[in-house]
Amino acid sequence: NPCSSDPCVRGTCEVTPLWEFCCICPPGWTGKRCEFSKWCFPGLCMNGGTCAEGMADHVWYCLCSANYTGDQCETAVSDCSSNPCLNGGRCCNENGGYSCQCLAGFTGKRC
C-alpha cells in the first residue's frame, strides 16, 4: 500500500487507481505531500526576510535581505562567494564585508 509509509506531512493519504499515493491537503496547505503553507505567517521568513504570497495557488515565498538566501532566508551569503580577490589573494569574511590577503607583489583592496 503506497500510503503505509505515511507520506503525507499533513492531510489524508489516498491510493490512486495507478497504485500511487495522493495527499488530500487540509485548507491552507499544498504540495505533493501537503508540505507547503499557502499563506504567510509570522516568523516564516528568517533574518529580516519578508513573506509574500505568490499568484500560483497562493503559495508564499520569502524576499530575503541582501545578505541571506534560501527558501526561508536561512542561509547567510558570504561576501567571499563571488571570489573578489585577484591574483591568488585569499578572501577573509569580516563583519560587514571582506578583506583580501594578497600574495607578495600585489596590493590594494582586491590585490
Distances in Å between the alpha carbon of 108 and those of 51, 78, 87, 90?
40, 20, 11, 13
Mean pLDDT of the chain: 89
Note the pLDDT of residue 55: 63
Q: Which domains does the chain have, with CATH numbers?
A: 1-38 (2.10.25.10), 42-77 (2.10.25.10), 78-110 (2.10.25.10)
* Range with top average pLDDT, 12-21, 47-56, 63-72, 77-86: 12-21
101 CB burial (10 A radius; 0-12, 13-18, 19+): exposed
C-alpha torsion sign, points 38, 41, 45, 48: positive
